[in-house]
Amino acid sequence: MARAKTSYVCLPCRASYKQPYLGDHERICPRCAAPLIHAGSAFAPPRRGDTAAWRTLSVLLNAGVRFHKSCCGGPGYRPRTWRETRAGPAYARRTGEPLARALVR
């Protein structure tokens, strides 16, 4: 039986790789040898030249937000623009809510 594939992202290279999920096994980028970040099975990467989208994605992934399927609805709301992302940290500071949760509110 085949293992489910999930996405791993290299932020410096702006690259995404679909690979079988093997637990907490660390993955290395084949282009720059930096550690890959597990993004989840419902992740769809932006175009490599879309700087604003990669900037937004960087904030999300570094805050711990992942793109996992939750049944048929997909991963739920995720900010797509820098303006939407910028509001999350301010809300988290104001309310004391964890940053990852505030970003997907």
Per-residue confidence (pLDDT) for residue 54, from 0 to 100: 93
Q: For the chain, give the mean pLDDT.
A: 85
Per-residue confidence (pLDDT) for residue 93, from 0 to 100: 84
Per-residue confidence (pLDDT) for residue 32, from 0 to 100: 95
Q: Which residue has the tokens 């999920």?
A: 21
Task: Write out pLDDT tens, residues 28-57.
Answer: 999 999 999 999 888 889 999 999 999 999
Q: Is the confidence at residue 105, as pLDDT, over 90?
A: no
Which letter, b or e, does each residue of 52-75 get, where b requires 16 or more Cβ atoms within 10 Å of its Cβ? ebbebbbbbbebebbbeeeeeeeb
In which element (H, E) is residue 48 found? Answer: none
Q: Is the confidence at residue 72, as pLDDT, over 60?
A: no
